[in-house]
Amino acid sequence: MGLGCAALTHTEYFPTYPNRLTPEQNGAGLSSPATAIALLGTGGAALMLLLLFMAVTSSTSAELIAVSSLLTFDIYKNLHQAERHLPPARPGLALRHRHLRPRPGRRLLHLQTSSSSI
């Protein structure tokens, strides 16, 4: 996008035409939105906001999955198993145990899945 910004600086569609972006504006990351606006108009600005939103939600999702994995495997395997005087859990034991144990609120679903395999 930076090269596109340099190429489109001298067109009338560039947001700051006839001026260039200042070094402060480039340092703030405004070259990508300026390029998108020059190519796509105001829709380009909306697409840049959408792109930013998707990047932030993707990063947040990855962080939540990482924290969930750390809590499950470090706390469950080490603390919970030690309190019950059980041998160390195998890598897939926590996930398998969660899926196989019937819960009171899920009995109907459990019965449906077991009857469909007959």
3-class state of residue 71 by DSSP: helix
* Cα separations in angstroms, 23 against 27, 40, 57: 6, 23, 29
Smallest CA-to-CA distance from 8 within 27, 29, 34 is with 34
What are the CA-CA distances from residue 87 to residues 18, 26, 38, 90, 92 (Å)? 72, 58, 63, 9, 14
Domain count, the chain: 1
Give the pLDDT confidence of 51-107 residue by residue, as tens digits. 999 999 999 999 999 998 888 877 777 766 666 666 665 666 555 555 555 555 555
CB atoms within 10 A of CB 72: 13
Which residue has tokens 């020059």? 38
Domain that holds residue 68: 2-116
